[in-house]
Structure 1
Amino acid sequence: MFSKINRLRIFAIGIVITALCVNACSEDAFSTFNNISLDETVDGNSLRVGVQFSCAKPEDVYIEYWINGQKDKIFTTPVSIQKTKFKIVLTNLKFNSIYQYRIVSGSAGVRFQSDEYSFKTKDIPDQLLGLYHAGAKIQQELPIEFKKGTMLVYNRETPGFIGMLDYQGDLRWYQRFKNTGVKVAHFTQNKTILSILAPMNYPTSYGNEILELSLAGDTIFHLKKGEKDFKQTIHHEILINSKKQYVTLSAAERIIDLSAVGGNKADTVKGDGILVLDKYGKRIWSWSVFDALDPLKEKNIIKEAKDWMHANSLFIDTDGNYIISFYNNGQIWKVNALNKKVMWKFGKGGDFILPKGAEFDQGHAVHINYQNNLMLFDNGTSKKRSQILAFELNGLTKQVSLKLCVPLPEGIFTDRMGSAYMINKNAVLTCVSKQNQVLLTNKNGDVLWSMMCANTPYRVEFVPFSKSKPFIEGF
């Protein structure tokens, strides 16, 4: 883990290729691999190394690599198809370690491989030392699923940072940013990391950039506020839908005459919305709370005009409609993605009668879990005790049943932010933001594992190796 890394480190000075490639097959069948060199990534990332080379004719090529002395555990990159010039990035590396690799091509069941070469990775950057301290309380009770994946973390302040950590607290992937913080980040169904970025003059979880990165470090999509149809400040959430469009929460403002309720004739009311952009930055769809509610009919509108509802999470349901949560009124809505109508409201004053003992104050990181239940992290501000809840909802009959209630240990509480995601049917990964803690608990709330963070984590998502391989997988 970060806290145990020896500061008396031996840095790798350059990367040495230890052998020359020899063409061991007829050139009628395969091209020779030429001009082989290793290239540091643009930001000098210690956990990514690029291998550059060329072939005389188009080939399908990949690279096999392994830690020196561990040839029984070979990692393989995705295949680069029909190229003559290549730059293949090796990921899933360890800091300050010697690796061997070989280039492989083949077709029709015939394999051609280069000789073996070696390189040494650099050590962990000073900026990332000591950020996370992980430790299991009951090692033997840790679910095997938890050991087979990583946690997505990020730093919202400048300099920004996105990382993926294993259960031992070891960094398995990272990306750094100089002049922006990372307001939120998600691992997508496309094996990419999608984030909202912003400099320090943007508050809390609000941002002015959308950035999607591949796990090889390539920029898939990057758009700044003011470009194309990206005109509004965005916040708290960024997702990709099934059409590969970008879905985010956005700020919405209206100038409204509030004099009838004690305000001014031209007051600014700040609400929230949903913005959908395509891969070219064109607005495809949008919605705001002003489409659903009249501010003049809200009893606390004068007090809340500067932050009327405060949407804090967004989820695309299995039917393609949107589930959006609001901090200020303690409600969760389902919004139709076609006609923009609110399909139901769940929570305080909503359409469902909550089971006794299942009331919640605010919901964060609201989503549909793998058991098809609505799951949320309840800040528990009225009780000063946070909990995790999951409900089975019937949107037609408005019936609800409580499926999961995990009270966090007494004294474990965060009145803002936070997240909770199921690892399996018996274990939950929870981010307790304001106490700078990440916990793995069982369904009774007993702590099996914990991690302290030097920064304040907004959310912590779990990414199984099955979803991130071959870029990140078990050693």
Structure 2
Amino acid sequence: MNKRILEVVVGICLLASCSEIERTSLPEIEATRVNIYPSIGKTAKVEVSLSQPHQFFIDYWETNNPDDLKTIHVPEQDELNPTVLISHLKENTTYSFAIRFGDEVVETKDIKKFQTAERPEAVDLFYDETKNQIETHLDGHFLFHRSGHPSVILLVDGQGNVVWYRTSPNMIKVANLTYRNTILTIESSTDQGFSDGDRILETNLAGDTLLLLNYGENEFTKVPHHDIFLTKDNHIVYLTQETQDEFSGDGILVLDRNG
């Protein structure tokens, strides 16, 4: 009997020691920065600097509505500066957020705030949500874009609500959502006609530019005419157009990440 009691006591001590080690091994949050871009709507990009890699949680809520709390789980990554995109936010609204590593209670001093950007007029000029309320069973989103000035890309849910947008000083001629949830576009810095453009961009939903190819650089010497998509090996495929003997025809061009 005494031996069994001793085993239980040792087991409890080991559990307590493991819990203590786990608590002391949690990383420090060395810095937190929130980026709000006026050209990227209904989102906030949170950059976190940790003293060591670790999973964490971001709790966020409208500051004036603390009962509507939402949580994002960020799995452990092999980096000290993970970036998290918070989406489907309301515009021109103040949010509070806190970062935690487990079930610990967040201290008031650790709560930070950010305010989302206002909706640009260009979005409402292109798309009026009040006139486009729909009901579908779509498990996803619609993507639209406006080719004129100012250019806008929209993601709209199955009820017709705008959940994300990007505005651009360029004329967006073609926009496609890729298999890795990035946006691939043909854009023009001038008023080129049709769907012709002079640059190809791949951006993520946080607004970061992952790829920029400018017409005339390296072997990117064929004007993007229309249609563009990303292959599984991340090559760019688009249609170009050439005229020979007064006859116009389309051609297919495949570019690597260097153009």
What are the superposed Cα offsets for residues 390-430 of structure 1, whole Å, 9 maximum, x if unpaired? xxxxxxxxxxxxxxxxxxxxxxxxxxxxxxxxxxxxxxxxx
Q: Residues 66 and 248 (structure 1 numbering): CA distance in 2 closer, same or farther, change over 3 Å?
A: same
- Find the partner of 2:137 among 144, 151, 160: 144
Range that drifts further, 206-215 or 160-169: 160-169
Aligned to 1:96: 92
Q: Are residues 1:230 and 2:220 paired?
A: yes
TM superposition shift of 1:130: 3.9
Look up the SS of the partner of 2:217 in the other structure.
coil
Give the conservation status (yes or no) of the 8 Å contact 1:253–1:268. yes
Higher normalized helix content (fraction of residues):
2
What are the superposed Cα offsets for residues 321-366 of structure 1, whole Å, 9 maximum, x if unpaired? xxxxxxxxxxxxxxxxxxxxxxxxxxxxxxxxxxxxxxxxxxxxxx
Q: Residues 250 and 136 (structure 1 numbering): CA distance in 2 closer, same or farther, change over 3 Å?
A: closer
Look up the SS of the partner of 2:122 in the other structure.
helix
Q: Residues 74 and 36 (structure 1 numbering): CA distance in 2 closer, same or farther, change over 3 Å?
A: same
CA RMSD, Structure 1 to Structure 2 (Å)? 3.0
Q: Are residues 1:57 and 2:35 paired?
A: no
Look up the SS of the partner of 2:191 in the other structure.
coil
Aligned to 2:148: 157
Give the conservation status (yes or no) of the 8 Å contact 2:137–2:158. no
Give the conservation status (yes or no) of the 8 Å contact 1:214–1:220. yes
Give the conservation status (yes or no) of the 8 Å contact 1:235–1:249. yes
Q: Are residues 1:191 and 2:181 paired?
A: yes
Look up the SS of the partner of 2:79 in the other structure.
strand
Give the conservation status (yes or no) of the 8 Å contact 1:158–1:199. no
Give the conservation status (yes or no) of the 8 Å contact 2:53–2:76. no
What letter is aligned with 1:122? A
- Taking the aligned partners of 2:201 and 2:99, their CA distance within structure 1 comes to 31
Give the structure-1-normalised TM-score.
Answer: 0.44
What letter is aligned with 2:236? Y
Q: Identity, % of aligned pairs?
A: 27
What are the superposed Cα offsets for residues 208-264 of structure 1, whole Å, 9 maximum, x if unpaired? 21111111222121101112221111122001123221111111333xxxxxxxxxx
- Find the partner of 1:131 among 120, 126, 132: 126
Count of aligned pairs: 235
Look up the SS of the partner of 2:51 in the other structure.
strand
Where do 5+ consecutive residues of structure 2 fail to align?
1-19
- Find the partner of 1:210 among 189, 200, 213: 200
Give the structure-2-normalised TM-score.
Answer: 0.76
- Taking the aligned partners of 2:116 and 2:62, their CA distance within structure 1 comes to 11
Look up the SS of the partner of 1:83 in the other structure.
coil
- Taking the aligned partners of 2:140 and 2:116, their CA distance within structure 1 comes to 22
Where do 5+ consecutive residues of structure 1 fail to align?
1-23, 255-266, 282-475
Correspondence 1:26-425 to 2 at 5 A: 28-41=24-37, 43=38, 45-61=40-56, 63-68=58-63, 69=65, 71=67, 74-76=70-72, 79=75, 81-105=77-101, 115-134=110-129, 135=131, 142-145=135-138, 148-178=139-169, 180-254=170-244, 267-281=245-259
- Taking the aligned partners of 1:190 and 1:113, their CA distance within structure 2 comes to 35
TM superposition shift of 1:26: 6.5
What are the superposed Cα offsets for residues 12-32 of structure 1, whole Å, 9 maximum, x if unpaired? xxxxxxxxxxxx996631112
Q: Residues 189 and 85 (structure 1 numbering): CA distance in 2 closer, same or farther, change over 3 Å?
A: closer
